[in-house]
Amino acid sequence: MNKIPIVFSTDHNYVMQTGVCITSLLMNSSPDEYYDIFILCSENVSETDKQQLCHISEKYERCCFNFIDLSNQFNDSFEIRNITKAAYYRLIIPLLIPQYSKIIYSDVDVIFLEGLNSVYNEDITNDYLAAVLSRGAVFDKEYNRYVRGLNLDPWMYVHSGFLLINSQKMIEDDICSRFKLYASKKFHFQDQDIINIACKGKIKFLPLKYAYTQGVFSSLYTSKTLLLQRFSEKEISDASRAAIVHYEGQHKPWNSYCFRYDVWWEYYRKSVFFDAQFYFKVNNSLLPQNITFKNLMKTIIAYGKTSLKRIIRRR
């Protein structure tokens, strides 16, 4: 059985989302994959929260849970928007879990649609980490200008939401100390900027399918020519069959109508966190207010051109 270590970072307000995320991973991984799951916890994660997450292992036996309290870490770090100090926890993973020479980190606002054995076996011997290119840094003019202001190439700037970390090399080169030095600086994208600056020249690129966001989805239809300047036709095609759906930004499926809203709720219903009253309350409040022509067209496109032709034929 292939043992895959993976790290998530959470606080009390995101425990449920963490559980839904992990549920999707275990549901869609192969029988020969075993996950050693590490949860980096803020001070407000209670014992009840931990026990509820552990209930997942009672249903899916191919995993175990480990909790690491980081309540006193990064107290002086810079916080912006709705991102808290917990975002910085990924920066010290090699020091926290030194027993693994290589380890995966993932944000919890994601849904896994396949297991991670393939990506875990990526060769990153000469790199500090592997991650997915940030589409926004390339396509958004203001974002592009900001990244260039950091003395970084937008075409080399990556997301920090899913990382394959070479812990051994990071420890050998003392990269975590470099991370900590940057944590108090007022970077707009916080840990993501820090990772790109500190690991510059030592980052391997992962396929688009490991960070399938609303932005990537839109680009497949509106900016494919530009995408082809950086990605192969096959990689772009594979991205439409996402391995990981990432709900980046402020609009999340549990509080608003957004890209692939229904996918997240599918796994919520199958998780140990399912609460019928919460499910009804959120969906009942969101859907009537957000069913507009624009949102309806986004939903139709999400099901692909084939589905659209079927709808037209039925009419």
Q: What is the DSSP string of 248-293?
A: -SS--TTTS--TTHHHHHHHHHTSTT--HHHHHHHHHHHHHHH--H
- pLDDT surpassing 50 at residue 312: no
When comparing pLDDT for 308 and 269, which is higher?
269
Confidence of residue 228 (pLDDT cuts 50, 70, 90): confident
Instruction: For CATH 3.90.550.10, list the domain ranges present in the chain.
Output: 2-274
- pLDDT surpassing 70 at residue 116: yes
Tokens 């975590």: give the residue: 176
- pLDDT surpassing 80 at residue 306: no
As a whole number, mean pLDDT of residues 217-244 equals 82
Residue 74, pLDDT score: 56
> What count of other Cβ atoms lies within 10 Å of the Cβ of residue 115?
22
Residue 302, pLDDT score: 55
2-274 has which fold?
Answer: Spore Coat Polysaccharide Biosynthesis Protein SpsA; Chain A (3.90.550)
Percentage of the chain lying above the pLDDT 70 cut: 86
- pLDDT surpassing 60 at residue 58: yes
Give the number of C-alpha atoms closer than 13 A to the C-alpha of residue 249, restricted to the C-beta side.
15
Sequence-distant (6+) residues with CB within 8 A of 160 are 90, 131, 189, 191, 192, 195
Rounded to 5°, the CA angle 177-11-73 comes to 25
Lowest mean pLDDT among 22-36, 74-88, 224-238: 74-88
Q: What DSSP designation does 83 have?
A: B
User: What are the tokens at 1?
Assistant: 């059985």
Residue 139, pLDDT score: 80
Percentage of the chain lying above the pLDDT 90 cut: 57
Residue 266, pLDDT score: 96
* Distance, CA of 84 to CA of 70 (rounded, Å): 13
Residue 81, pLDDT score: 46
Query: What is the model's pTM?
Result: 0.86
